[in-house]
Structure 1
Amino acid sequence: MEKRSVFKSAWLPVLFAAPQLLLIFVFFYWPVVAVINWAFTLEPPFGGAAEFVGFENFREVFSDPLYWNSVVVSVIFAVVGASCAILIGLVLALAVDRALPGSGFFRFLYILPFAVAGPAGGLAFRFILSPERGLAASLNQIYPDIWNPAKFGTHALILVIVIFVWKWAGYTFIFLLAGLQSVPKTLVEAAAMDGSGPIRRALDIQVPLLAPTLFFLVVTMMTEGFVGSDTFGIVHHTTAGGPNHATEVMVFRIVDEAFQGLNYSGASAQSIILIGLIMIFTFIQFRFIERRVHYK
């Protein structure tokens, strides 16, 4: 029979849980209530009494074409960034899972970028892929403006997506490699004995058995692409939303509206809309993708 701990005093477990409950209240529930309140009021930027305006902040947000541009940019960033990070992580995990010589070193090498902070990675790639020096400068001398993220919005969006994929591919690699370790080796060995090559074994046996892990990564990476701190850090330190709002993702626009434009009410309304958008994407993923996932 399993023994259970029993506290003689009812206040003792409350005291143990109080610090965690306090943190949750201060850093989660209190900000959520404040954001909801600001979204339906006109909050003065320099203090003072707030005025209730109902849905006026939401109407102002929806009528702004730049806001819809940030929605499109966020969707492109999240979908392309998450897909590429998962695909690259899967390829790397399949390669390392074969236990070739030196695979242990490559496991460490592939995980290493995830330890780098997003803003630091953004600054590094900003200089590495700068159009004025290095390989990009050589290409621009041959073909002028073939790569110039400071001038072309498409190039800037590609740049921030590349940085995001570079950092988060190591994260997906960790989970996919762990998932591959749970695939029965007997199935792979039997397929090899039947003459199946590495690619055929991966497509027919290993990848289908990774469906739960892949689904988890799709949900996680899509959420990270929309609201992750690295998403804001990469954009802020690399392009600052430019050029011409081409990389202005929703999370960057919210922070910029609140702390640069001092439009707390508009930023709060955008935050609620962003949460709703994430909920819609998550519902779609669980409704139409999870049904294809087999856990046994």
Structure 2
Amino acid sequence: MTDTTLSPGPARRWLRRLGGADAPPAKRVQFDRPLTPWLFLAPQLAVVVIFFYWPSVQAVTSSFYLEDPFGFGASFVGLDNYRDTLAAREYRGIALFTAGFAAVVTALALGLGLLLAVKADKVIRGAGAYKTALISVYAIAPPVAALIGMMLFDMHVGPFTQAAAFFGYDLKVGINYWDTAFAMVLIAVWKQIPYNFIFFLSGLQSVPVSVREAALIDARSGWRRFWDVTLPLLAPTAFFLLIINVTYALFDTFGIIDVIVKDKPANNPMTLVYKVYLDGFKGNDIGGSSAQSVILMVLVAALTVVQFRFLERRVHYG
């Protein structure tokens, strides 16, 4: 009878691979000097401190002062900047528009990105060209996307304006409040769809073939298979994209809004982040602008806490 017992050498190697009890402890990286790790972290820490913490502290400090626009002095006014901001009817209207804008842009960008990813996942011939055409839009900078959108909405030669006129509607982007809001949403969604498409397509392609085959046997309806099997597996990806898209709608659409409402902000909608820029750099109201930025920062932090506290509970990480 042949002895199949592993020799000490191979057995030890197998235990190491499997993480067995006899496996030697993993080696920890050791530095000769305790300051060496901090030297490696110093560039990243410097970037965070200079471009995040320091401006945040400056904004909070400036929000309690009424500053001279030419920098000759500042007077402490306490919470007056916050009271004036929250009491202003214009600010409340802009805050309401920002909430609606973020909700619509997030919902449409996620929904259309998921729809295109599902369709692209089924393409066999020409899949590379199809995916490249969808992803290429993401390489366009937001201001450039806005310029392209404004050409499409031009009141004289824009194809969208002419199409609306064909149906009897006079589309006036830049003049009419709701027409401008429609253009903002459309351009912002168009710009964000490729980002969502990339992540959703990667998530769909990571679903095991065995799971798909089992779902095909259990449910004949494609919609039922998607709702019961595919979508729960995409929940971690969807949750990540939800946070990214809300942040995009609140902050990264600044370039789009700036191009659309430039030189005529009084007649057009805007978001809170653009209001901060308008009051601070155009109106020279440094204290009021700082108070608005602090309020926006608190709102975004609260929204993030709500998302992680309540929505993440429904996400199952397989």
Asked whether the two chains share a fold, i.e. TM above 0.5, the reply is yes
Q: 1:236 aligns with which of 258, 277, 280?
A: 258
Amino acid of the structure 1 residue aligned with 2:183: L
Deviation at 1:144, TM superposition (A): 5.0
| Unaligned runs of at least 5 residues, structure 1 | none
Deviation at 1:280, TM superposition (A): 2.5
| 1:180 is aligned to 2:204 | yes
Name the counterpart of 2:312.
290
Q: 1:108 aligns with which of 122, 132, 136?
A: 132
| Number of residue pairs the alignment of both structures matches | 294
For 2:262, what is the secondary structure of its paired residue?
Answer: coil
Q: 2:184 aligns with which of 133, 139, 160?
A: 160
Instruction: Give the stretch that moved more between structures: 187-196 or 67-76.
Output: 187-196
| 1:258 is aligned to 2:241 | no
Q: Tell me, in whole angstroms, the C-alpha distance in 2 between the residues paired with 1:28 and 1:141.
A: 47
The 3 A distance-change label for structure 1 pair 183 and 85 is same
8 A Cα contact 1:125 1:163, kept in partner: yes
Q: Tell me, in whole angstroms, the C-alpha distance in 1 between the residues paired with 2:275 and 2:214.
A: 53
| 1:84 is aligned to 2:108 | yes
8 A Cα contact 1:35 1:268, kept in partner: yes
For 1:51, what is the secondary structure of its paired residue?
Answer: strand
TM-score by length of 2: 0.86
Q: How does 1:64-213 map to 2 (within 5 A)?
A: 64-139=88-163, 141-194=165-218, 196-213=220-237
Q: Tell me, in whole angstroms, the C-alpha distance in 2 between the residues paired with 1:190 and 1:276.
A: 46
Q: Tell me, in whole angstroms, the C-alpha distance in 1 between the residues paired with 2:82 and 2:307.
A: 26
The 3 A distance-change label for structure 1 pair 225 and 48 is same
Deviation at 1:123, TM superposition (A): 0.6
Q: Tell me, in whole angstroms, the C-alpha distance in 1 between the residues paired with 2:263 and 2:208.
A: 47
8 A Cα contact 1:176 1:210, kept in partner: yes
Deviation at 1:114, TM superposition (A): 1.1
TM-score by length of 1: 0.92
Name the counterpart of 1:274.
296
Deviation at 1:91, TM superposition (A): 0.5
8 A Cα contact 1:235 1:241, kept in partner: no
Name the counterpart of 2:241.
217
Query: What's the CA shift string for 1:148-182, capped at 9, x where partnerless?
Result: 22332111111111111111111111111111122
| 1:38 is aligned to 2:62 | yes
Instruction: Give the stretch that moved more between structures: 279-288 or 122-131.
Output: 279-288
For 1:223, what is the secondary structure of its paired residue?
Answer: helix
Give the aligned CA root-mean-square deviation in angstroms.
Answer: 2.0
Q: Tell me, in whole angstroms, the C-alpha distance in 1 between the residues paired with 2:101 and 2:165.
A: 29
Q: Tell me, in whole angstroms, the C-alpha distance in 2 between the residues paired with 1:223 and 1:137.
A: 30
Q: Tell me, in whole angstroms, the C-alpha distance in 2 between the residues paired with 1:141 and 1:245.
A: 22
Query: What's the CA shift string for 1:49-94, capped at 9, x where partnerless?
Result: 3221110000110121111111011111111001100001101111
8 A Cα contact 1:160 1:235, kept in partner: yes
The 3 A distance-change label for structure 1 pair 131 and 197 is farther
Amino acid of the structure 2 residue aligned with 1:264: I
Percent of residue pairs identical: 36
Q: Tell me, in whole angstroms, the C-alpha distance in 1 between the residues paired with 2:90 and 2:306.
A: 26
Give the number of the structure whose alpha-carbon radius of gyration is greater: 2
Q: Tell me, in whole angstroms, the C-alpha distance in 2 between the residues paired with 1:116 and 1:193.
A: 43
The 3 A distance-change label for structure 1 pair 244 and 121 is same
Deviation at 1:22, TM superposition (A): 2.1
| Unaligned runs of at least 5 residues, structure 2 | 1-24
For 1:42, what is the secondary structure of its paired residue?
Answer: strand
Q: Tell me, in whole angstroms, the C-alpha distance in 2 between the residues paired with 1:164 and 1:274.
A: 20
The 3 A distance-change label for structure 1 pair 36 and 137 is closer
8 A Cα contact 2:175 2:268, kept in partner: no
Relative contact order higher in (CA < 8 Å, ≥ 6 apart) = 1
Query: What's the CA shift string for 1:205-258, capped at 9, x where partnerless?
Result: 111211111111111111221122xx1100001223956454211011101111
Q: Tell me, in whole angstroms, the C-alpha distance in 2 between the residues paired with 1:193 and 1:292.
A: 26
Q: Tell me, in whole angstroms, the C-alpha distance in 1 between the residues paired with 2:107 and 2:227.
A: 17
Q: 2:82 aligns with which of 58, 61, 73?
A: 58
